Amino acid sequence: MKIQSLIAAASVVLFAALSAQAQGTFQNLNFEQADPVIVVGSPYYPYEVTAASALPYWTVTIDGVQQSQITENDPSLGATWVMVVGPGDAFGYAPIDGNYSVLLQGIVPGSTASISQTGLIPTGTQSLLFEAQPGIGPMDVLIGSQVVPFAAVGSGANYTLYGANISAWAGDTEELTFSALGGSYNNWNVDDISFSPTSVPEPSIVALTAIGGLLFGTRKWFAGRR
């Protein structure tokens, strides 16, 4: 096995172990508490589900407007949207880890697809970590109203591990938001969000060790119902 692959694999294990701590008052950061309730009578039956059941503890917004319904395993083709990725294959998308992850679809230019949750960031937190299959455009991570830069710090078989320095908010109660920005099928599949007491490497170190080689990877195009 190439040394770069060994380094990447070791980094993923290391960050996972270091982030296995109390997550403050945040809940369902791995989205495994999903229990999607189908919206009977929906034109997208049986794929449309209530947002509260599919993403408990999270608030779903499209262009800042809270949504009461999303879909499960039924991605949008032409509208900015949020979908819970459940068991099975959803037009080429599958959960990154476990049974569920979340697809943020920033499709229409100028629009945003977001999930947010307010909670206590654990005292001693240095970094925010999350796994993702990146889109072909940007995603913002925000603490409160502040956009927090993030970078690839590792990779797994089917995802890139990203990290952001959020030490300035350790011990604070803040809103955490993930927001895919509208573009041409800018779809971010996100999973396993965690707070870590360890600082993330500087981007230059990441580059030198060849970690995060999937940063510029793109997701394949797919067919949808919307």
Query: Domain extents for the chain?
Result: 3-208
- Predicted local distance difference test score (pLDDT) of residue 111: 96
CA-CA distances (angstroms) from residue 145 to 7, 36, 109, 118, 175? 35, 30, 21, 12, 8
81, β-bridge pairs: 105
- Predicted local distance difference test score (pLDDT) of residue 39: 97
Distance (Å, whole) CA 206 – CA 226: 39
- Predicted local distance difference test score (pLDDT) of residue 226: 53
Phi and psi torsions of 105, nearest 5°:
-105, 95
CATH class (in words) of the domain with range 3-208: mainly beta
- Predicted local distance difference test score (pLDDT) of residue 219: 36
pTM of the model: 0.81
Contact 174, 144 (CB under 8 A): yes
pLDDT (tens digit per residue) in 71-112: 999 999 899 999 999 998 888 899 999 999 999 999 999 999
Taking the chain (226 residues) in runs of 10, the rounded mean pLDDT of each run is: 45 45 87 97 93 98 98 95 93 95 96 98 97 97 98 97 98 98 93 95 45 35 41
Range 54-88 burial, b when 16+ CB lie within 10 A, else e: bbebbbbbbeeeebeebbbbbbbeeebbbbbbbee
- Predicted local distance difference test score (pLDDT) of residue 162: 98
CA-CA distances (angstroms) from residue 49 to 68, 93, 97, 201? 9, 18, 21, 39
| Amino acid in the structure at residue 169 | W
- Predicted local distance difference test score (pLDDT) of residue 88: 85
Q: Which of 38, 64, 63, 32 is nearest to 51 (CA)?
A: 38
- The first and second tokens of residue 216, run together, are 């510029």
CA dihedral 54, 141, 117, 180 (to 10 degrees): -30
